[in-house]
Amino acid sequence: MTPTIKDIAKAAEVSVTTVSRALNGYTDVNEETKKKILRIADELKYSPNIAARSLIVKKTKTLGLLLSGITRSSIKDNIAFEILCGMNDRSGELDYDLVLFNTTSQKQRMKSYKSLCLERGVDGVIIMGIRLDDPYLQEIVQSSIPCVLIDIPLAEKNVGSVSTDNVSGAYQATEHLIRGGHKHIGFINGHAQAYVSIKRLEGYRLALLDHDIEYREEFIADGSFSENGGYESAIMLATKHPEITALFCASDLMAIGAIQGLKNIGKTVPENVSIVGFDNIAISGYCSPTLTTIHQNKYDMGYRAAQMLVDMLEGRQVHPHLTLPAELVERQSVRILS
């Protein structure tokens, strides 16, 4: 058996109360006895039982993670991973542990969001990759469990959000193309149930507007954020509208698919059509041609999300919505016309 506080008490010839107080750094315990207790605890290799502890103070020092991106299909665009790294680093610094919730399995999917959190006894939750039409989202809003959402700004008590400035990012991407002399610019978006898609579309339209270019619905396609979606959308757009000389893609993965798609119908990037992506995933710096894209600081998103959540948990004032800057990184996939 592993030693308990009781064993220490016995060995030190004091009460469990005193041991508890000594261990938790209370003042009203004699320096001598405190030293003794600490020494004995060390000798016995005592380590506290978190379950018992959290049974009475209702805190567990753990954050729950509801990440839909931790799955086989999202290995290439390891956005979830980068965000996870940031969260992991910051929560470690703040002395919180992270628990991954399994939302994939059927069994778990039945459970309500709230009971999921309650059972595990997490203090708060970070959620990402959730669709706007996901029933969980409703629950989250209603439940009083503190949480921060990645990429969905919800105005509710106890919920915060962090995201990249998507409209600025999309604006920069589109404007970059326009400045390059492009007038017919297609847009491969994600899907309608993603908040970022809505925002990126907004940025795209705004840029067109500001430069007096007509917005044309038929220049838009949804690529569902997948490589294959980008592939097919690019082919579709390029064949239906051969006047298009540039494509803005709402994700790098779709951009990479688009490059392949275009190649497949005999068009090369950037000679025939220019492309700018979004995300700045690792691959985009290595593929051919390397991808001009909008950089999202994914690591930072995770880092700041963790920070915000524990700020909320520990009663500090927080600004509930954090938007990180997006930044254009120029590489080889766009051609500057004359």
Partner DNA sequence: TGAAGTATCCGAAACGTTTCCGGTAACGGC
Partner DNA sequence: GCCGTTACCGGAAACGTTTCGGATACTTCA
Give the whole-angstrom CA distance, residue 199 versus residue 190: 11
CA distances from 153 to 156, 163, 307, 317 (A): 9, 8, 17, 17
| Binding track, positions 25-44, relative to DNA; x by CB under 7 A | --xxxxxxxx----------
Give the CA angle between residues 85, 303, 130 to the nearest 5°: 80
Shortest distance, position 251 Cβ to its own copies, whole Å: 14
CA distances from 147 to 27, 53, 105 (A): 35, 23, 22
The helix/strand/coil state of 81 is helix
Burial 10-35 (b: 16+ CB within 10 A, else e): ebbebeeebbbbbbeeeeebeeebbe
Task: Kindly state whether residue 55 participates in binding its own copies, applying the rule CB under 8 A.
Answer: yes
Task: Kindly state whether residue 282 participates in binding its own copies, applying the rule CB under 8 A.
Answer: yes
Give the whole-angstrom CA distance, residue 137 versus residue 112: 11
Token representation of residue 10: 């016995």
Q: What is the dihedral of CA 264, 231, 302, 113, to 10 degrees?
A: -150
Shortest distance, position 238 Cβ to its own copies, whole Å: 21
- Choose the one of its own copies, DNA, none that binds residue 30, judging by a C-beta under 5 to 8 angstroms depending on kind: DNA
* Contacts (CB under 8 A) with its own copies, residues 206-225: none
Task: Kindly state whether residue 97 participates in binding its own copies, applying the rule CB under 8 A.
Answer: yes
- Choose the one of its own copies, DNA, none that binds residue 210, judging by a C-beta under 5 to 8 angstroms depending on kind: none
Residue of the chain from 10, 76, 131, 184 that contacts its own copies (CB under 8 A)? 76
* Contacts (CB under 8 A) with its own copies, residues 1-20: 2
Q: Which stretch binds its own copies (CB under 8 A): 11-19, 77-85, 211-219, 267-275?
A: 77-85
Residue of the chain from 10, 11, 38, 53 that contacts DNA (CB under 7 A)? 53
Shortest distance, position 119 Cβ to DNA, whole Å: 9
- Choose the one of DNA, its own copies, none that binds residue 99, judging by a C-beta under 5 to 8 angstroms depending on kind: its own copies
**Which positions touch DNA (CB under 7 A)?**
1, 4-6, 13-18, 20-21, 23-24, 27-34, 46, 48-49, 52-53, 55-57
